[in-house]
Amino acid sequence: MRGIDLISSLWSQIYPEADAQLLEGFIEELTQLNKPAKDADTSWYQDAVVYSLYVDLFNKDFDGLKEKLDYIKSLGVNTLWLLPILDSPMRDAGFDIRNYDLIRHELLGLPENHSKAEQEAVFGDFLKEAHSRGLRVIFDIALNHVSETHPWFQSAKESISSPFRDYFIWTQDISLYKDARIIFKGLEKSNWEPSGDAYFFHRFFNFQPDLNYRNPKVLLDMLRHFLYWQQLGVDGFRADAIPYLWKEEGTDCENLPQTHLIMKFYRAVLDRVRPGTLILAEACQKPNKVVEYLGDGDECHAAYHFPLMPMFYKAIASQQADPIINILDTAVTPKKPDNTQWFTFLRCHDELSLELVYVSEADRKYIHDNYCLQPEWDFREGEGISARLANLFQFDERKIGLAYSIMLTLPGTPVIYYGDEFGKENDQRYYEEMIHQTGKDDTRFLVRGKINWPLREAQLNDPSTFQYRVFHRIQKLLELRRKLGVFGQGSLEFIEPDAQDTQNPAVLAYIRKLGETRVLVVQNLSSKPQLARFESISATGINLLQDSVIALDEIILKPYAYHWIKID
């Protein structure tokens, strides 16, 4: 079942008692939209390398970002993920959206009352420039909640007779949904916020009221926003906070069946207009729950593998390969549909996330103890660490390179957070400025901050600097990854070095295979040199990072070293 029939079927499952004219009118709107050529690449996200950034922090606005497109392209990425760009009071870095069909005027370099036509000219030109360089563009949309300044909520709180009152969840009995956990532990004390003589429901900050998807108009109006940006040429969307869309009394209000039907509806509508428009699931859950958001290849196209990320850090701190091997075992990470993809990262952009929903208490404590090196880095009462990659690894370029080697060679689409490619450090001044501006001691502000491009360009042109060395390490890895073409979709086989007396737990090794291409990846997680033998695989191979023949009967690995070896 595809197209309109699928859309109608899903609608009837979500809203069996809804007015049929609502859907009929919406379908009529769909038939009027432009469609792309039929030969469009619909699986591009499976071989992408993503660079995520805040436009204003990266280089002021879209004109500034256009100036840096060649720099981004030179790094070796092919997809831009724009962290929140939509109109917002900016109390939560733009995840608190005030208008879904407007970009913040300062990012466009336009006055606050700019027109849609002006917006489309500036943003459309940016998209044209990005696409001309082979860069696709995706951005964030929060599906679960809006800013309290959103016109819908402003109307809703003014009167119970407002047509938007039922776009949100109201009660006078705050024992409702009592099993829904508080996500921002230490920052919020309740999921209910008083407003007038009632309370509204929120899963995140108290200035972000949750949308009420029991109201079918909410789903259709939200999709109209998606379609607007899709028509302008946006290649995909990071669907923020999707596990919480549907609320049901007596449950924890997470991962409910209706939520999956809603996401399938989003997918069916976007596919009807332009197949291959990415829906990336932001679902902070265990892999066996996250994979459900991929459906049978008919829900989200891709999803973050949240639990893999902390295991990178545990493996390096413990100098043991098992944390990574175990998390990717099919008993923990189920097989996904072939037309979908995991997205991987070295931090959830703003933090090393350690939510107990997908990390054990023992692992949370171990990682926190080893990497939360300053008290102000603590986030969510120990369930996160707000620190830049360079800070976490104490500016050890070997560990940074090793972490990237692991991420770039394991299955999935890797995400690079702006500035990490040259070892950007925590920004204390920006942190303090934002606390003053927002009134929230959100330690994630530490890992944001603006890029001082004159300073960085000087550093990147000086081979003696830490920034130069880190950048060229990462650039070389990305160049090889693109040329090999095996890491995005190839098979994965973990292997152990040939046994002598005992196995070496500090060596993380695996073979990636796609077609006739086989690459042996060998990585030393230890602070000490290690010896590894793989002569049972092949006598020799090509060490791609050094462009030389390497004998596999005795590989001497320096501390935190990594080799990518092409074998016959």
Is residue 282 part of the annotated active site? The answer reads yes
* Euclidean distance between CA atoms 567 and 493, whole angstroms: 14
Is residue 240 part of the annotated active site? The answer reads yes
- Of 61, 240, 351, 427, which residue is the catalytic one? 240
From residue 334, alpha-carbon distances to 63, 436, 492 in Å are 43, 44, 14
Collapse the DSSP code of 21 into the 3-class scheme (helix H, G, I; strand E, B; otherwise coil) and give the result.
helix
Collapse the DSSP code of 492 into the 3-class scheme (helix H, G, I; strand E, B; otherwise coil) and give the result.
strand
Per DSSP, what are the bridge partners of residue 98? none
Angle between helices 308-318 and 361-371 (to 10 degrees): 60
Nearest to 288 by CA among 301, 302, 305, 313: 305
* Euclidean distance between CA atoms 476 and 491, whole angstroms: 23
- Of 56, 282, 298, 351, which residue is the catalytic one? 282
- Both structure tokens of 436: 């003053």
Asked if 144 and 242 touch (Cβ cutoff 8 Å), the reply is yes
Cα-Cα-Cα-Cα dihedral of 285, 286, 292, 296, to 10°? 130
* Euclidean distance between CA atoms 270 and 36, whole angstroms: 12
Nearest to 69 by CA among 53, 84, 83, 45: 53
> Residues near 458 by Cβ (< 8 Å), separated by ≥ 6?
none
Nearest to 323 by CA among 378, 263, 364: 364
Nearest to 75 by CA among 420, 554, 551: 420
The single residue listed with the structure tokens 């913040």 is: 104
What DSSP character marks residue 515? T
Q: Which residues are catalytic?
A: 240, 282
